[in-house]
Amino acid sequence: MGRRRKPKAKSYELNIESLSHEGRGIAHLDEKVIFVSGALPGETVIADRSFSRAKFEEADVKEVLKSADNRITPKCEVFGLCGGCSFQHLSSEDQISAKGEWLKDAFLGQAKVAPKHWLAPLQVQSWGYRRKARLGVRYVAKKEKVLVGFREKKSGFITNMSRCEVLHPSLGDNLEVLAQAIEKLSIKSQVPQLEVAVAENNTVLILRHLEPLTEQDEQILLDCANELKVSFYTQSGGADTVKPLDQPTVLTYSHPDHDIVMEFLPTDFTQVNFKLNQKMINLALDMLDLNDEDKVIDLFCGLGNFTLPIAKYAKQVVGVEGDLGLIERAKYNAEKNQIINADFYKADLFKEVEGFEWFRGKTYNKALIDPARSGAIEIVELLPKLGVERLVYVSCNPATLARDTARLIELGYQLDTAGVMDMFPQTAHVESIALFTK
């Protein structure tokens, strides 16, 4: 793929007509579509062009001449520069409303269908919610300063930020303290990133380093960890080089309504928004309408985030996941929570699976799937063979959910209920949930 060339400088006045599915304003000029970051429908703006092609251009708001009634003042000082957020100029209520419209458009556009029932949007806190993140780190020699934060929009530079409003406060309030500690390291120019994992009981920071840490470096990090009440892990190479700087830390999150505590590793996939996750679990269980005769299959089960709560109300549940480490932790969490009716299997759900023990000759009357952004078209094809009559589909991409919906309808399912969930406030990310019935 060719590098994005920076076009010749150009500013223009634009009338914003609508909002794209990435949260950018849409305007038209000289038979071109212009996607304008930071603009809202109904506004007149001066925008600077940032990218150009034959049929469309991209631009960034320079000045708002006429504001939309629903424009608000962004909470963060570096909003517009930082690539971590894209929606702070719109209220949380208006954000989730827009996401609901995008989901509706996806269903109607690709699947030619709308659900019989729309769920009220699921929301919790809008700030300080983010517990998983990858932050860039860079030592700027000219300023003799280390920057820690998200990368700037459309560039590889690290945003010069002292705090982050969406990160959990254990880290978001302390970026400067963290940067100052890294500044003291002998290898400060060889630290490119930090992986963040904030549990209910601890915060782990995985420091990626390209040169070995000295004993003094390690002590600097331990002192910082003590000050911030966090734990440092280090990573000198691939994923197998992640190790605790001091003592290993057991990280946990919980499903209090179901008396379940989940343990996980700092590198494991978990939902970024724990409070929303708890509400999402409860909603999924309600939509599955479980009873003690149900046999349920949970595909793309991860750590057992949905599987273990399902097990509390069903006769049997089987979780399937492609990552062996996650399967091992799911089994461990089932045992730790004294759940004996949940079984877990490793399988690549994008490949042939009909010969596996959990599939061959088995039937499940209910299913839950929670795939990655690419969706689950391969496994959707197999649901009728498994006998699934009721399916809850959790999605992080309206486009692939709509594509899979079209196929589910061809297979004899109907789209009963759907709605959006605010897993990533202040961003254009859309999390949604849908119920299909035979």
Residue 370, annotated as binding a ligand: yes
**Among 39, 67, 37, which Cα is nearest to 50's?**
37
CB atoms within 10 A of CB 77: 13
Task: Look at residues 383, 398, 393, 405 and name the one whose alpha carbon lies nearest to residue 428.
Answer: 398
Q: Is 224 annotated as a binding residue?
A: no
The CA-atom distances, in angstroms, between 262 and each of 125, 171, 254 are 22, 22, 6
| 301 is annotated as contributing to ligand binding | no
Half-sphere exposure of 80 (CA within 13 A, CB side): 17
Q: Within 13 Å, how many C-alpha atoms sit on residue 72's CB side?
A: 13
H-helix or E-strand spanning residue 112: none
Percent helix, strand and coil across the chain, each to the nearest 5: 25, 30, 45
- Please check if 232 is assigned to a binding site: no
Written as one letter, the residue type at 318 is V
Give the separation between CA 253 and CA 275, rounded to whole angstroms: 10
From CA 382, how far away is CA 299, in angstroms rounded? Answer: 12
Burial 396-405 (b: 16+ CB within 10 A, else e): bbbbbbbbbb
Active-site residue (options: 68, 90, 396, 435)? 396
Is 323 labelled a binding residue? no
Sign, CA torsion 415/420/423/426: positive
Nearest to 324 by CA among 339, 343, 302: 302
Q: Are 307 and 317 in contact (CB under 8 A)?
A: yes
Clarify whether 396 is annotated catalytic.
yes
- How far apart (Å, rounded) are the C-alpha atoms in residues 353 and 257? 34
* Residue 15 annotated as lining a ligand binding site: no
**Residue 164 in marked binding region:** yes
Rounded CA-CA distance 21/160 in Å is 28
Neighbours of 53 (CB within 10 A): 10
Angle between helices 215-228 and 175-183 (to 10 degrees): 170
404 is in an annotated binding site: no
Strand order in the sheet with 117-118: 117-118, 414-421, 431-437, 390-395, 366-369, 295-299, 316-321, 342-346
Question: Would you list which residues are annotated within the binding site for [4Fe-4S] cluster?
Answer: 76, 82, 85, 164
Question: Would you list which residues are annotated within the binding site for S-adenosyl-L-methionine?
Answer: 271, 300, 305, 321, 348, 370
Q: Annotated active-site positions, please? A: 396
Question: Would you list which residues are annotated within the binding site?
Answer: 76, 82, 85, 164, 271, 300, 305, 321, 348, 370
